[in-house]
Structure 1
Amino acid sequence: MNDVSTPTPLWLRVLRYPLVRLLLLGFLMLQALGHSNYYMGLVADSPGAKIAVAVGMSLLALIVYAAFGRWVEGRSVSDLALRPAARELAIGLAVGAMLYSTCILVLVLAGIYRIDGLNPLSYLVPGIAMAVSAGFLEELLFRGVLFRIVEEWLGSWISIVVSSLFFGLAHLMNPEATLSSALFISVEAGLLLAAAYMLTRRLWLGIGFHVGWNYVQTAVYSGAVSGTAVEPGLIRNTIEGPALLSGGSFGVEASIVAFVVCTTTGIVLLRMAIKRGHFVPSPWRRAGHRPSA
């Protein structure tokens, strides 16, 4: 007997069209991010409750993302593979913290960042919630949805540009944001986080980068995170110097120091990803090409 495969229903073919998946899954992840911020605001005076909200919403978003990938997109959701998760998250956390610490070291040597003293270790706790929420939910939205689907559709170069621009422009909604700060984030963070995804073909490394950077920025170095109000962390500091170097009221992300450090790291990771065969050509150059897993 000849096996006859069951044709994919029309409604499922429509759902699997790249633009439709982009809008549907993007909406779900955006809702998760918005609700996480909303509920954390309701329990702003309780660090423990904020952490619980951030972790809970991140887990819920991961489940929704995996379910959508499995049952709507019809894929294995290998970008959330569990076996390498702990290792890649740990590496990402360490590298993200190291990148931000490198920027602070440059500012200390330049006389811009001065350490005035230390606060109690309990000051390390409040920064966990926002770092987890932003790191997991923004990576699911901007790399898991936007970068991945556009790359599959139009290739790696176009996807890097599109996802980076949207990521930077989204930060224009933050307090103290300027066009230059958004452009800095587009290049330095957009490239770095897209390259992290391309290198491993998984989300964990980029999530680690994002959480590690955001966490030490506020909880350790008492810095503003993308224009949000400065919350006291472990280190009491004084920052004085030109905004081009310090990032001004927006934070270190808007500084030339972070731009150089993160963009350089992103280029290195991108070159590694290309050497591994993880680059997706544009549709007119593919000829059956598939990125290596």
Structure 2
Amino acid sequence: MTQLGETREPGRLRRFIAYPLTLMVIGAAMVIGALVIVSIGINLFDIGRNSPLGALRGLAAGLAPVLAYAVFGRWVERGPNREFATPGAARELGLGLLLGFVLMVGSAGLVALLGGFRIEGVLGLGNFWTMLGVALYSGPFEETLFRAVILRQLERVVGTFWALAATAAFFGFAHLANPNATFFAGFAIMMEAGILLGAAYLLTRRLWLAIGVHSAWNFTQGWLLSIPVSGTGPSPGLLVTSRTGPEWLTGGDFGLEASVVTLVVATLAGLAMLRRAWQRGEFVAPRWQRNQTKL
């Protein structure tokens, strides 16, 4: 029996589960599993993607991983859910949406100045509901998986720098499975999105800013500018646009994300946020260095 005021040492199984890399695997499985289950359920119904119900379909697919992460935090990791803390959420989400829009429009504008992008006219509503659904799904799901689960748990072992590098590389590698992907496209995603979105999380230690950037980036590119999002094919959105010139400038069939211009613009923005996170003391040393300081 334990005396009053004493705390019991966690058992071997609990210590194994509580190890960061174990938590990373369990958390990733729960987040992905929730998305798969909800997607299977949604696909049982004949819902047109480019309709208001299609957008709700995307919202459901985006909320499922977030709810799974809340269950993971409460019952598996047994810690506070800081990543979705509500104080300041509206401000950070709004700033993220604005930043994602500005970065994509700014990149397109620079490509246009170099002769690689033109606005031919206005189409109308186009694939509005489809791209809204994509934005409502992609931001919450991918940021929960890559930043809240993988980056955060890796950081506890290898430190912020190596965790960011690993998740950025993994994020770029994952996009190589997309249609029309090239090795340069994967490298561009690694640099511009892996660093930018990782920095958005590290700066706030919440996901609202990163989700806003991610969702607005996809929606602006796919609907407003009618550019393929990560190689997913033609995207008839609000504007009728054309891209002509070398692939290093236009991004080719993968879309503007594979343009050197976008690579430079978004990476610089990410590095600026990383510098701010460093100044605010948000970087964590690797576990072996932290242990040495305790000796």
Q: Is the 8 A contact 1:12 1:72 kept in 2?
A: no
In structure 1, the partner of 2:140 is 136
Counterpart secondary structure, 1:72? helix
For residues 200-240 of structure 1, give each alpha carbon's deviation from its aligned partner in whole angstroms, at most 9, with x where no partner exists: 01111101110010001011000011110122000001110
Aligned residue type for 2:265: V
Residue 82 of structure 1 corresponds to: 86
Inter-partner Cα distance in structure 1 for 2:233 and 2:38: 18
What is the SS of the residue equivalent to 2:77? coil
Query: Is residue 100 of structure 2 the alignment partner of residue 100 of structure 1?
Result: no
Does structure 1 residue 7 correspond to structure 2 residue 17?
no
Contact 1:199 1:273 in 2 (8 A): yes
Letter in 1 for 2:290: R
| Partner Cα separation in structure 2 for residue 34 and residue 140 of structure 1 | 15
> Structure 1 residue 70: deviation in Å?
2.0
Equivalent residue for 1:262? 266
Q: How far did residue 104 of structure 1 move?
A: 0.7
- Structure 1: gaps (5+ residues): none
One-letter code of the match for 1:185? I
Task: State TM-score, norm by structure 1.
Answer: 0.93
Tell me which residue corresponds to 1:170: 174
Whole-angstrom distance in 1 between the partners of 2:114 and 2:36: 38
C-alpha contact (below 8 Å) 2:168/2:194 kept by paired residues: yes
Does the 8 Å CA contact 1:113/1:240 hold for their aligned counterparts? yes
In the aligned structure 2, how far is the partner of 1:40 from the partner of 1:239? Answer: 34
1:50 corresponding residue in structure 2? 54
In 2, Cα distance between equivalents of 1:112 and 1:206:
28
How many aligned positions are there?
289
- Are residues 1:23 and 2:25 paired? yes
Q: How many Å apart are 1:44 and its aligned residue? A: 4.1
- CA shift, 1:46, in A, is 4.4
Structure 2 Cα separation of the partners of residues 109 and 61 of structure 1? 40
Please say if 1:189 is aligned against 2:193. Answer: yes
Is this contact kept in 2: 1:131–1:212, CA < 8 A?
yes
Give 1:84 shift: 1.7
**Structure 1's 288 and 102: CA in aligned 2 closer, same or farther, altered over 3 A?**
farther
Contact 2:50 2:129 in 1 (8 A): no
Q: In the TM superposition, what is the alpha-carbon distance from 1:13 to its structure 2 partner? A: 1.9
CA distance in 1, matches of 2:273, 2:85: 20
Offset at 1:187? Answer: 1.1
Q: Secondary structure at the match of 1:117?
A: strand
The answer to whether the aligner puts 1:156 opposite 2:136 as a matched pair is no
Q: Report the Cα distance in structure 1 between the residues aligned to 2:142 and 2:93, rounded to whole angstroms.
A: 15
Equivalent pair of 1:193/1:266 in contact (CA under 8 Å):
yes
Q: Give the match's secondary structure for 2:277.
A: helix
Q: Distance in 2 between matches of 1:46 and 1:239?
A: 24
- How many angstroms does 1:37 deviate by? 5.9
